[in-house]
Amino acid sequence: MRIVIMGPPGVGKGTQSHQIVRDKGVTHISTGDILRIAIRRGTELGKKVQKVMNAGDLVSDELMMELIKHRLSEDDVKTGWLLDGFPRTAMQAAGLAELLDDIDQKVDMVLVISAPAEEIVRRLAGRITCRVCNEVMNLVGLGNETPKFCPFCGNAEDESRHKPALYQRADDTEETIRHRLEVFRKKTLPAAWILEEHYPLAEIDGMGTVEEVGKRIADVLE
Ligand code: AMP
């Protein structure tokens, strides 16, 4: 199965992606995760994208197309994939459709999750991520205190190297969140409508619990 998951930042794409990957046995490709790992490792790619990412802007289409072309040619994606964070622009959407056409593949379902802007700002301001398993959590659900270990994989804080188990993303400040929402509306929504010309697309209501949204997605994927 090949799935694309889209939606504004903080709508629950990452959380829902983990569930879909578990249910469908496909490989999760998160372009944001790939870029964040590159930044953490200090690679050439990481150095190129760090400033743009921290400001909540988009990395260039050329760079992203190159990255995704390479990723989709790797062995672990042969049995299916879930694209999370790509495409982000009309050009990337057209580029993906062309790339898949060339290798005679199709996207089985494009999922577009939505939620009101105020809900997104509220969720993102408290979002924290595990440094090891990348699971995403919210401080509200954790008593508003950052735990010293990850409740999902057990990764513990490394005090001697000042490395907390869970971290807040550099682009999760209120100002940057509002900018990223604007970028989503202007640049990424048009990408969804381009994909709709090629593949089945379902709009999913992102309000409610993780389980409720997950059920809506599972029903669509059935
Ligand atoms: P995400 O983790 O999907 O929210 O992505 C975090 C940031 O990575 C975005 O705000 C962009 O700066 C960058 N990024 C991720 N995927 C893409 C993409 N397909 N095109 C351009 N920039 C991207």
Q: What residue ranges define each of the domains in the chain, with the CATH number in brackets?
A: 2-115+175-221 (3.40.50.300)
| Residue 53 Cα: closest atom of ligand 1 | 12
What is the pLDDT tens value at each position of the chain, 222 positions in all?
A: 999 999 999 899 988 999 999 999 999 999 999 999 999 999 999 999 999 999 999 999 999 999 999 999 999 999 999 999 999 999 999 999 999 999 999 999 999 999 999 889 888 888 899 988 988 888 877 777 888 899 999 998 877 777 889 998 888 888 899 999 999 999 999 999 999 999 999 999 999 999 999 999 999 999
Residue 160 Cα to ligand 1 middle (Å): 31
Query: Do 81 and 2 touch, CB atoms closer than 8 A?
Result: yes
Instruction: Compute the distance from residue 186 Cα to the ligand 1 centre, in Å.
Output: 14
Whether the link from the prior residue into 8 is cis, omega within 30° of 0, is no
Quote the CA–CA distance of 17 and 15 in Å, as a whole number.
Answer: 5
> Measured from the CB, is residue 9 less than 6 Å from ligand 1?
yes
- In degrees and rounded to multiples of 5, residue 77 shows phi and psi of -105, 0
CA pseudo-torsion sign 37, 47, 128, 93:
negative
| Residue partners of 4: CB distance under 8 A and separation at least 6 | 82, 83, 86, 87, 96, 107, 109, 110, 111, 195, 199
- Please tell me if the CB atom of residue 91 comes closer than 6 angstroms to any atom of ligand 1: no
Q: Give the separation between CA 131 and CA 1, rounded to whole angstroms.
A: 28
CA of 13 to the centre of ligand 1 (A): 12
Give catalytic residues, as residue numbers. Answer: 13, 88, 127, 169, 180
Identify the CA nearest to 69 among candidates 41, 108, 33, 29.
Answer: 29
141, 122 in Cβ contact below 8 A? no
Q: Is the pTM of this model over 0.85?
A: yes
